[in-house]
Structure 1
Amino acid sequence: MKGLQGRRVFITGASSGIGAGMAKVLAGYGCKLVLHYNRNEKGIAQTLATVKEMGGEAEIIRGDFEQLDQLDKLFEQAWQFFGGLDALVNNAGLITKTLSLKDPAGEKFSRTLAVNLHAPYQLSCAFAKACIEAKQAGAIVNNSSIHGQATCEWFAAYAASKAALDAVTKVQAIEWGKYGIRVNVLAPGVVPVERTFDILNKPEMEQKWTNAMPAGRYGTVEEMGEATAYLLSEHSSWMSGSILTLDGGLIARGNYPQR
């Protein structure tokens, strides 16, 4: 990927799953990484070890995205590790599954929006401000979901947070384009990760999902990493305010399995 060597990238939620896959791929392209985690110390240690084994440079930083008043300080620390940042990947998030009437007061709803929407909004603003003050360009990738475009039962909070993140991405791309800051969305479909691998790979579940996908298979965290690398690279230098959907054709076919 052209232009990634030596780029300083802050990845949130890098202790497992797609975030860890992003870290591995970006390290392979020569990026210097700031890897965020919250509670998964074993996972972030593994991600860091993988990056180091590849000869990459990385630092780790811990932060709870429900503590929104701590995010500016967290960003300042991330910015200082390598004397600045060239890119921000807002990957950390909650996958909340509940029927709306099981959360009538919206407690889970509010918590989900804090982590999935407010936190990346706030971090993106801090990143843009720092880039403008440093008189440098920058790139932001917001890891959203196909649920921001087409969803199903149980996902009111999650889908709302991702649809809103898609919209915020477009607005910030408009506001910050004149400063050379690009903002795009990665929208993954069904990608097995540590907490879902076993259930998604049960024969009946795998058949249920992959039959609904024209590509006939799940995605991988490495494919999400490669897509992120593309969005951060010079190959996408004219791309901003866009949604890059990787779902094996699931929502194009419009056939979610009924839950």
Structure 2
Amino acid sequence: MKKLTHKKALITGGSSGLGQEIAIALATEGAKVVFGYYHNEEGAQKTLEEIEKTGGIGFSIKANLEDPTQNLFLIQETYKILKGIDILINNAGIIIPHLNFTDISLESLQKTQSINLISPFILIQETAKIMKKKNKGGSIINISSMSTQFITPGSTHYECSKAAIDALTKGAAYDLAPYGIRVNGIAPASIATSINERQRLKDPKGWIKRKNTFPLKEGFPEDIANACIFLSSQASKWITGLTLPIDGGARLINPFNLISSL
């Protein structure tokens, strides 16, 4: 039997990168999947096609997560389709191009927080209401980032949003535990996605050097998708409030060793 048979999942940002891989992986394991997207119509269609190839069931909903009302719309439409939600994966996020701290505008800060923090907050609240009514528990997963531990120059607005996500994960996990609702996070380091591909093309030598500093070298979207399957399944039924680092061993690196190698 597949690990997520009969489960109903909502994933944000499912038209590319990690979200696309997660949506396909959950469908492959038997979940009925709804994924949200906004700009990438072609990518959304590809996700649906890949889900169909696995024999899975998938649906897409277009929603602008910067708008709080669109988050409510996404939940409402998902419920109409699935008649419930067992799994929520808050994957959608933005990284506004690197800015010096004193050049970060209020608009950039607010946009980043709207999509990376406020949207997950709303979606967790609304999904939890549905899960509580069904009285069968559920699993909520927030995609965070190792950037909260390893600072990238020019990304303070992004790092703030992901640090807040880690706090949201803990707070929601505590408050929702009495209802059997588990809330966990996943914090990837550098993963081979379209967002990081742009950085690789911009600075190929720097990208290779950074990748090779990780004990396990480069990570891939399927590494994150596999963790999502685990945290969505009964195999993790006694795990909540955890943000799981998936970083190829980056946390093990002694920064003084890096300095001495320069």
TM-score between the two structures when normalised by the length of structure 1: 0.93
Whether the 8 Å contact between 1:182 and 1:240 is mirrored in structure 2 is: yes
Aligned position for 2:48: 48
Aligned position for 1:231: 231
d(CA) in 2 for partners of 1:136, 1:207: 46
Whether the 8 Å contact between 1:138 and 1:180 is mirrored in structure 2 is: yes
Aligned position for 1:61: 61
Aligned position for 1:182: 182
**Could you list the runs of 5+ residues in structure 2 that have no partner in the other structure?**
none
Aligned position for 2:32: 32
TM-score between the two structures when normalised by the length of structure 2: 0.92
SS in structure 2 at match of 1:36: strand
Whether the 8 Å contact between 2:2 and 2:30 is mirrored in structure 1 is: no
Aligned position for 2:92: 92
Aligned position for 1:121: 121
Aligned position for 1:214: 215
SS in structure 1 at match of 2:248: coil
**Could you list the runs of 5+ residues in structure 1 that have no partner in the other structure?**
none
Structure 1 residues 50-199: aligned runs within 5 Å: 50-96=50-96, 97-103=98-104, 105-197=105-197, 199=199
Give the direction of change, closer, same or farther, for the CA distance of 1:35–1:242 in structure 2 (3 Å limit).
same
CA deviation profile, 1:201-230 (whole Å, cap 9, x unmatched): 775234311232111x21100111001101
Which ranges of 4 or more aligned residues in structure 1 deviate by more than 2 Å? 194-203, 254-258
SS in structure 2 at match of 1:211: helix
d(CA) in 2 for partners of 1:249, 1:42: 34
Give the direction of change, closer, same or farther, for the CA distance of 1:35–1:102 in structure 2 (3 Å limit).
same
Whether the 8 Å contact between 2:190 and 2:196 is mirrored in structure 1 is: no
d(CA) in 2 for partners of 1:34, 1:17: 16
SS in structure 2 at match of 1:196: helix
Aligned position for 1:204: 205
- The aligned length equals 256
Amino acid at match of 2:230: Y
Whether the 8 Å contact between 1:9 and 1:33 is mirrored in structure 2 is: yes
d(CA) in 2 for partners of 1:198, 1:71: 28
- CA shift, 1:2, in A, is 6.7
What CA RMSD, in Å, does the superposition of the two structures yield over aligned residues? 2.0
CA deviation profile, 1:6-63 (whole Å, cap 9, x unmatched): 2111000000000011112112211110011011000000011000011100111010
d(CA) in 2 for partners of 1:156, 1:11: 26
Whether the 8 Å contact between 1:72 and 1:123 is mirrored in structure 2 is: yes
Aligned position for 1:241: 241
CA deviation profile, 1:75-127 (whole Å, cap 9, x unmatched): 11112212111110000000122221112x42211110110000000000000
Question: Higher helix share goes to which structure?
Answer: 2
Structure with larger RCO (C-alpha < 8 A, sep 6+):
1
